[in-house]
Chains A and B, each alone.
Chain A
Amino acid sequence: MSNMKNIRCVLSGFSLDETILSTVVDGFHRGHRYQVVSDAVACRRPGIDDAASYKQAVIRVIGNFAGIQGSSDVVRASGRIAV
């Protein structure tokens, strides 16, 4: 994992409020820097309130530990992935 400091890591998938959240928080304290693609991450459905609000709240928390970008930001006009 020490090599993680020498690469730019983009996170996507699920679930946002479990594995991705724990990865960015734990990695943050190890000096790893992640970019999370906000529209390429899925979140568990909360027991209360609506799923969209819950996801936004989790993304705000994650934003304290990682960069947040949309897929349109990650995929440039050239079709290349860049962060």
Chain B
Amino acid sequence: MVLEIEPGPDAITLDSDPYVIIRPEGDWDRPRRSRHFVGAPGDISAARGSIGRTMITNRKMMASLHDDPPILICADLQIEYLTEGRRHVIADADAITSRCLELLTLWRKQPLAGHASETDRAGRMVQSGLEPDGLDRGTETAARGARLRTSAAVGI
């Protein structure tokens, strides 16, 4: 038996935004747990569009956050790529490493939001796992006076 009814105003269709359709957690009828991009079902229209258009508006949506979530800068600087005999693998590694350090330095100088103190900033270096080819990950690389060791992921 088929009942023909009018779709609801916020019906999810194939034209709906991927951010709306892809809901690994399910519960399409309830507001998304993430407040960032998709709110209540009534907000779906604001997020409709193709993937490309959504990505273009991604920044706009982020700017629309009513609160000011912290920024996390992640710089993946795996020095395994920069070891002797393998440096040629990555293009412009030195220039990119320097730029990453500049961004990290700026970010580290940035005051924390609210009343958080500097001691609350959870910056840390994260060492990557051993490469499948068994390259020594203990090597360090120097860039602009700072010494980096494998991957750098820096927290808030």
Chain B: interface size category = 35 or more
Chain A: interface size category = 35 or more
Q: How far is the CB of B15 from chain A (nearest CB, A)?
A: 17
**What residues of chain A lie closer than 8 Å to B52, measured between beta carbons?**
63-64
- SS of A interface (majority): mixed
A30-48 interface bits toward B, Cβ cutoff 8 Å, 1 = contact, 0 = none: 1101010101111111000
B97-129 interface bits toward A, Cβ cutoff 8 Å, 1 = contact, 0 = none: 101101100110010000000000000000000
Contact indicator A12/B74 (Cβ below 8 Å):
yes
- B59 interface contact, C-beta 8 A: yes
Contact indicator A31/B24 (Cβ below 8 Å):
yes
Contact of A33 among B22, B37, B106 (CB under 8 A): B37
Q: How far is the CB of B41 from chain A (nearest CB, A)?
A: 16
Contact indicator A69/B78 (Cβ below 8 Å):
no
Interface centre among B32, B62, B76, B100 (most CB of A within 10 A): B76
Contact indicator B76/A14 (Cβ below 8 Å):
yes
- 8 smallest A-B Cβ distances: which pairs? A13-B76, A42-B96, A5-B34, A51-B91, A40-B99, A13-B75, A67-B58, A9-B72
Interface residues of B (CB under 8 A from A): 19, 22, 24, 32-37, 51-52, 55, 58-59, 62, 69-78, 81, 88-93, 96-97, 99-100, 102-103, 106-107, 110, 151-152, 156
